[in-house]
Amino acid sequence: MADKVLFQTDDALSETNLAARRARDNSTDYVERGLAVTPDWANGKFDVSAGHAVLKKNVKAYDVFADPRSGLSLADSSGTNYVFLVVDPSNRNDVTIEVNADGSAPGSPSLLIQKLDAAAKTSSAVNRRPSASYDSISGVADTFVTSTSELESAFANLSAGETLRIAQPDTPYRPGQWLDIDANYVTVLAESQFARDGQPLIKPADGSNVGGVRVGHDSATKHVRVEGLGFHGNSGNMSGTAKRLHAFVADQNASHVTFRDNYATQTHPYHELNSGGSGFTVRKNAANVELVGNRVDDIGDRGIQAAGTNLLVRGNVLTNGYGDSISLNVTEPDDDSYIAKNASVVNNFGRDNAKGSIVAFGKSASRNTTPRSERGYFAVVGNVGAGQHRKLIQFGRNAVNVKAVSAIGNVGDGRNADHFGIRSAVRSEDSWVNISNNILLGYNYGGVRVTKGHNVNVSNNLIAGVGGEGIVTSGYSNHKVTGNIVRNAGTVGVKMVNQMAPATVAQNQIRFCQEQGIVVNQGGTASDRGVTVYGNSLDANNQGSNGVPELDVQTQNVLAFGNHVATRGGSASFSDAGSGNLWVGNMAPADGSAWSLGSATGVRTMANRPNPAGEGFVVTTPDGTAEYEITVDNNGSVTTTQL
């Protein structure tokens, strides 16, 4: 026989060469699909369904596509029968089913596909699609898990650098212990989040009172990845005294941990705030943790709760929850709440968690003797909230001492929400709060509410159909509310109250609110106050017809310039009840009701259209030593008065 290499230049694309090319071990001599054999023991017959098989004989392989057969006779009605699929290469498309009682292969290319034991009335398929079972495969996995006992043993005996792969079972694994990872550089992978019966991959045994996977519980552990697991907390079958049986935990001693593409549901306790079972928990001393692309549904408490340092929470889907979808604080077993530091919460989706917000952190520890310094530094970006929930974003409760928090580009459908879209209550002397470019629709209490906090920017948000104020900020200094679009707010469009200078309300577009378009009411003494209000566009507010103006100044030392009322609501366009304020270049409809100066004192107006009746134009001498007011009466007489 001459040497031969396929395929080379000028080799024929012939049946012989193609059949030789196909003839390989481990990819021939098996049934690809179909060819099911159904015996009729009573009549000594059997049927064969249509199917596809690959046969090999010597140096040739054949793909055989067989039609169904019925009523074929057994060779031995009281013994074992061997059913073969046979082809005759000398005759085109010649396929037969042959059966014998001794198991000898026919002379033509053939494949044994079934054994029929007529005496025992049993039928066994053979040579079906290849399968294999391995304890380990170099470069792929060090340990393969196929049973509950193997799962428990594998986690209990993990070693540094090990890769553990969990096979898809027919029904869930039912461990009776936490699955702890206390070895470095460990990777845990699963073939599927679900068993073949559709349940999550892992479901703890009844009454075991355990959760799911914990990293770094007993010893310092770093560089761990857990990917593709599904967990059902079996909440209906755990003890009522058991608490915090979370699905996945980066524990106190964990660092550089990644939970990716995992699934969690029904954790225990079910629907219990703070001590319930959450989907993912990062405890206060954990660091450098990534929660990416996970799914949480119908959970016991929070979808994700994290109190560690250096956190990435990205692309997770959290539905049908209870507490917050994502919480940047954790209530520990000592009942104190600990807040995270350095966290990026990006592009997550939350829906329907009746007792919590989509992204939130609350109050800090009250009894913690060593609180984390400079908690905060959060970027909450591009998240979406829908369905029933409280707020889209909650930055702190009870004026928590946190700094540097930012909410950018988030979208909230608040039609089924019962609170504000975004609320911030941080109070540190160096707060730095940024709320910008968010869309907030339909929230019952209002759009954005900021209480306390220094250095606050609320800008370029789109807010509509909220039940209360569109935007309200209060307390402390350096608040800026600019470039927002507010429409159909249930009360005031933008309200700024009780703040120290400086503060700015500028270039907002406000329409169809039930009360004032803008209210500035700072309170306090004149030396503490000073607000600039400019470039705002107001249109047809005061929809409630309650006699309030479009732009309402109720404090002192305010500079209001370049504001424009397009269509006046049910009252004056501009109202001033303060003192020492300056109005320059503002415009409103000239219908005789533009101004309401009330009890204002020391107010100056200049170049407005229309100008308040009786108010003149104020000029200062070149040396700055005197001021004069120039007024014109209805007869055109000019009066100059030194001020």
CB atoms within 10 A of CB 219: 12
* pLDDT beyond 60 at 208: yes
Per the structure, how many domains does the chain have? 2
Q: How far is CA 347 from CA 47, 314, 462, in A?
A: 56, 6, 19
- The fraction of the chain above a pLDDT of 90, given in percent, is 65
Where residue 607 falls (left for φ over 0; alpha for ψ -120 to 50; beta otherwise) is: left
Q: Which of 22-26, 209-213, 265-269 has the lowest mean pLDDT?
A: 22-26
Q: Which helix (H) or strand (E) holds 162?
A: none
* pLDDT beyond 90 at 398: no
* pLDDT beyond 60 at 266: yes
In this prediction, residue 526 carries a pLDDT of 45
In a domain, 24, yes or no: yes
Residues 6+ apart with CB under 8 A from 566: 537, 538, 539, 540
Q: Which tens digits make up the pLDDT trace of 121-139?
A: 999 999 987 666 666 665 6
Range(s) of the domain holding residue 104: 15-125
**Which comes out higher in pLDDT, residue 570 or 195?**
195
In a domain, 66, yes or no: yes
* Burial readout 22-54 (b: 16 or more C-beta within 10 A, e: otherwise): ebeeeebbbbeeebbbebebeebebebeebebb
Q: What is the mean pLDDT of residues 315-333?
A: 94
Of 82, 106, 125, the position where a domain reaches its end is 125
In this prediction, residue 345 carries a pLDDT of 99
CB 153 within 8 A of CB 173: no
In this prediction, residue 385 carries a pLDDT of 97
In a domain, 56, yes or no: yes
Cα–Cα distance for residue pair 127/133, rounded to 1 Å: 16
**Which comes out higher in pLDDT, residue 637 or 558?**
558
Q: Which tens digits make up the pLDDT trace of 244-264?
A: 999 999 999 999 999 999 999
Alpha helix locations (H) across 252-336? none
In a domain, 637, yes or no: yes
Residues 6+ apart with CB under 8 A from 132: none
* pLDDT beyond 60 at 372: no
240 pLDDT tier (thresholds 50, 70, 90): confident
Q: Which tens digits make up the pLDDT trace of 453-478?
A: 889 999 999 999 999 999 999 877 88
In a domain, 82, yes or no: yes
In a domain, 562, yes or no: no
In a domain, 323, yes or no: no
**Which comes out higher in pLDDT, residue 444 or 596?**
444
The torsion angle over the Cα atoms of residues 321, 326, 330 and 335, rounded to 10 degrees, is -40
In a domain, 47, yes or no: yes
* pLDDT beyond 90 at 270: yes
Q: SS3 for 334-384, per residue?
A: CCCEEECEEEEEECCEEEEECCCCCEEECCCCCCCCCCCCCCEEEEEECCE
Of 72, 94, 125, the position where a domain reaches its end is 125
CB 242 within 8 A of CB 274: no
Cα–Cα distance for residue pair 404/433, rounded to 1 Å: 6
Dig out the tokens for 284 from the structure: 């206060």
Q: What is the mean pLDDT of residues 171-197?
A: 98
Q: Which of 198-202, 232-236, 539-543 has the lowest mean pLDDT?
A: 539-543
In this prediction, residue 614 carries a pLDDT of 61
Cα–Cα distance for residue pair 468/586, rounded to 1 Å: 27
CB 581 within 8 A of CB 559: yes
* Locus of tokens 């009252």: 571
19 pLDDT tier (thresholds 50, 70, 90): low
pTM: 0.78
Q: Radius of gyration of the chain from Cα atoms?
A: 38
Q: Which of 107-116, 175-184, 371-380, 604-613 has the lowest mean pLDDT?
A: 371-380
Of 97, 125, 153, the position where a domain reaches its end is 125
Q: What angle do CA 339, 343, 348 make, to 5 degrees?
A: 110
- Per the prediction, the chain carries an average pLDDT of 89
* DSSP helix/strand/coil, 551: strand
